[in-house]
Chains A and B, each alone.
Chain A
Amino acid sequence: AQSVTQLDSQVPVFEEAPVELRCNYSSSVSVYLFWYVQYPNQGLQLLLKYLSGSTLVKGINGFEAEFNKSQTSFHLRKPSVHISDTAEYFCAVSDGGSGGSYIPTFGRGTSLIVHP
């Protein structure tokens, strides 16, 4: 069974500072990894995904993430945040599962709060 741990429930940061949101996963098979962002009163939007290939993945809005198989991590980073990045961020993992369903399991989320 797969699971996701987002180590920080809340991350406060000042505008233009760098940020890292941490995500660790557990799975017994090859994994696919995702980061989503959710703005207030909206659905989730895909930021980036790792399916295979390069372990450094670049996404929208200047975000990137690195897949580290030995540490079972997929941390999200941005070198310089903006006020508009204030939102809830969710890490998700999926595997082949029974019958290849590839159903993602989501973490509890990290609230990124950017201060001016």
Chain B
Amino acid sequence: DAGVTQSPTHLIKTRGQHVTLRCSPISGHKSVSWYQQVLGQGPQFIFQYYEKEERGRGNFPDRFSARQFPNYSSELNVNALLLGDSALYLCASSAELMGGYTFGSGTRLTVV
């Protein structure tokens, strides 16, 4: 069975640009969450979607937005990129809200 897939794996963008990151959850998983992981730190929560509705939002600016599609895949969008947005962006899916997550390998975003 395919795990959580994220694309692209690596990305280099210039300050001020926009980026879209994509995630396909495990088949049958209806919950998708996004996390930002800066080098040397634990993942920080950005968004959670369940059944295509936003269930939670972390302490991130409005430049960050996301959505979940009818097939449960998800996109994370970041506008007006800053150098500080450079990080590993992780997508995780779960069958239920309270269970453990299955993470993708992440998208490494570098802003120059």
Contact = CB atoms under 8 A, between A and B. Distances in A.
Interface string A49-66: 101000000000000000
Contacts, number: 58
Contacts of A107: 42
Nearest to A6: B42
Nearest to B96: A102
Interface residues of B, number: 24
Interface in B53-106: 55-56, 90, 92, 97-106
Nearest to B4: A43
B98 A90 contact: no
Contacts of B41: 108-109
Contacts of B4: 43
Given A46-B101, A49-B100, A103-B48, A90 B90 contact: no
Contact of A32 (B40, B42, B55, B98): B98
B42 A109 contact: yes
18 contacts: A41-B105, A43-B90, A43-B103, A43-B104, A43-B106, A44-B90, A44-B101, A45-B103, A46-B101, A46-B102, A51-B98, A101-B56, A101-B97, A103-B55, A106-B35, A106-B44, A107-B42, A109-B40
Interface of B: 4, 33, 35, 40-45, 48, 55-56, 90, 92, 97-106
